Amino acid sequence: MLLQNTPQYITCYHMSYSLTRTSMALDQFTLSVLDLLAKKWGVPKAEVMRRAVRRIKEEEDMKDQCPKPLQALDWLQNGGGLTVQEAEAFRDEVQSERDAKRYWWEV
C-alpha cells in the first residue's frame, strides 16, 4: 500500500575527506538518543556523531575567542574600544536626547 502524502527526501553525500572506522562504548541513553536523532534527521549514526563533534568544536573555539570576565571588565573600563572623542560625542548625543524628552516641570 502506497502512502500518497508521505514526503520523500533524497540525501546526497559528497564526502571529500577520508573516513576512519572506530568503535566506542556508549551507555544505553546515549545510544537511544543517537538512534533517535539518526532517524529524525534521516542520516546514519556516524553522521550524527560527526555533527555533534563539529558543533562542540565550534562552541569550544568560540569560548576560546571570548575574553575572560576580568579581561572584558578591563576592556570596558578602558573605554570599550571608543576613543575619547567618540565617547564625548556619544555622551553629548544621549544628553541632548534626554533634554529633548523632559517635561516642563522637570527643567
pLDDT at 14: 59
Separation between Cα atoms, residue 48 and residue 54, nearest integer Å: 10
Statement: residue 9 has pLDDT above 90: no
Domain coverage including residue 43 = 27-66
Statement: residue 6 has pLDDT above 60: no
My answer on whether 45 and 55 are in the same domain is yes
More confident residue, 16 or 1: 16
My answer on whether 75 and 59 are in the same domain is no
User: Residue 15 domain-assigned?
Assistant: no
pLDDT at 91: 92
User: Residue 9 domain-assigned?
Assistant: no
Cell numbers at 21, concatenated? 572506522
Cell numbers at 78, concatenated? 578602558
Cell numbers at 56, concatenated? 562542540
29-82 pLDDT, tens digit each:
999 999 999 999 999 999 999 999 999 999 999 988 888 999 999 988 888 888
User: Residue 6 domain-assigned?
Assistant: no
Enumerate residues 6+ apart whose C-beta is below 8 A from 44. Answer: 38
Statement: residue 5 has pLDDT above 60: no
My answer on whether 62 and 72 are in the same domain is no
Q: pTM for this structure?
A: 0.53
pLDDT at 1: 47
